[in-house]
Amino acid sequence: MESTNSFTKLLNLLKDKKATIGIIGMGYVGLPLAIAYAETGFKVLGIDIDKNKINKINNATSYINHISSEKLKILVESNLLKATNNFNEVKALDAIILCLPTPLNKYREPDLSFIRSTLNSIGQHLKKGQVLSLESTTYPGTTQEELHPFIKNLGFNIGEDFFLVYSPEREDPGNNSFHTGNIPKVLGGTTSNCNKIGLALYEQVVNEVVEVSDTATAEMTKLLENIHRAVNIGLMNELKPLAEKMGIDLYEVIRAASTKPFGFVPYYPGPGLGGHCIPIDPFYLTWKAREYGMHTRFIELAGEINSSMPSYVISQTSNALNKYGKPLKNSKILVLGISYKKNVDDIRESPSLDIIHLLNKKEAKVEFCDPFFEVLPKTRRFNFDLKGINLTKESLSSFDAVILASDHDNFDYELIEKYSKIIIDTRGRFYPSNNIIRG
């Protein structure tokens, strides 16, 4: 009877929007999700160990470029959204959603330390009648191998008095066409009851929930999405230097191929892969595949090609300078855009950082310009002491070469083209000419 009551009570709370939603990890995934629930009418508690993020949320100050402070202010002042770093408050929640980092270590092995430490922090505060959803991208089997035994060891009966689901995030920061509400949500539950609870949890804030048979299938779905992109981008990156040697504009080829109404999806080359998904997620599967004695050659080859692109950009820059009788050493190089993609303030795994690192090793004099950053932030891998410059005809003219690494829409491209001596264009923003080189 108690199990039936736990299921029915939670189901009704979710459907009636009377449940309290807790989201642990208030980054580029967690904050938009928290806003989506609060805008739907749920009371939402954001939990993060970063006190700076907590203070900014509670003071209605956005720390993510594409989220306005005005939107936060409405929700905070309506008491629909607040934030804390106190894990004790988990006991007051009906739903707990984990939006945590899952990086790779230096051996390209999954690092689940953020998930494990969070489970340890919330374990003593969990209670019957709650649902726990993991949204972090990870290898197939994580929910069943890590979360399931943890919850079971606490004495809960999963599927009866506690509910466990996996639903991978699909956020695309900076995409004005797609947001949390209109991106279909994949959902896999540990049991059929877990699926029903997960459906009630997510159907309130997204237009479509795509149910799959179990958590491992949902985990594999997210990996397939990003492996698909990584492999196809790797193909374009492999073709880029070949097309360059053949005197063919690969971007023109892609545009022409895109006119075919079936059988072709355009992907574009670039200076390498960045962000929290594509450079990392495919290697979760390569790691897990070794458990089954399998070698994922396509994935690893694409990773090698994509990882080599910053070095290719440096090679193109060096070759372009040589034509003017200048060595790369001591040349003044401007890197335009340090975000991993255009129009976002996110430098996670950004190839721009690798490019700056390689330029420093070659003893070039490097500066950067990015409308989203006044200084170059410290990351897990790099700590450059650089301040951004303003783009003017005088500043552009002072550089020996300009590398367009991230093509933000609010760059003045006419100014850049007119006053730059050499442009290494890694994004296909300019038409090639004597001083514009594909990188």
Classify residue 68 by its DSSP letter.
-
Strand-by-strand arrangement of the 365-369 sheet:
365-369, 332-336, 401-404, 423-425, 436-438
Residue 3 pLDDT class (50, 70, 90 cuts): low
* DSSP E strand stretches across 101-215: 130-134, 162-166, 185-189, 209-212
Identify whether 228 is part of a domain.
no
pTM score: 0.91
Q: State how many domains the chain has.
A: 2
Predicted local confidence at residue 351, as pLDDT? 95
* Contact of 27 with 34, CB cutoff 8 Å: no
Q: What is the pLDDT of residues 252-261, one digit of tens each?
A: 999 999 999 9
Q: Which of 99, 194, 277, 369 is catalytic?
A: 277
Please enumerate in sequence order all residues whose Cβ is within 8 A of that of 154, keeping only pairs 6 or more positions apart, or say none.
Answer: 123, 126
Identify whether 48 is part of a domain.
yes
Identify whether 200 is part of a domain.
yes
Identify whether 234 is part of a domain.
no
Q: Is the pLDDT of residue 2 over 60?
A: no
Q: Is the pLDDT of residue 105 over 90?
A: no
Identify whether 258 is part of a domain.
yes
Co-location of 306 and 205 in the same domain: no
Co-location of 198 and 320 in the same domain: no
Interhelix angle for 297-322 vs 215-245, to 10°?
Answer: 30
Taken in order 1, 87, 84, 178, the sign of the CA dihedral is negative
Task: Quote the CA–CA distance of 354 and 313 in Å, as a whole number.
Answer: 10
Is residue 277 annotated as a catalytic residue, yes or no? Answer: yes
Please name every residue paired with 209 in a beta bridge, in sequence order, or none if there are none.
185
Where among 213, 248, 265 does a domain terminate? 213
Task: Quote the CA–CA distance of 188 and 190 in Å, as a whole number.
Answer: 7
Predicted local confidence at residue 118, as pLDDT? 97
Q: Which two tokens stand for residue 414?
A: 């006419």
CATH of the domain at 301: 3.40.50.720
- Secondary structure class of 413 (helix, strand, coil): helix
Identify whether 235 is part of a domain.
no
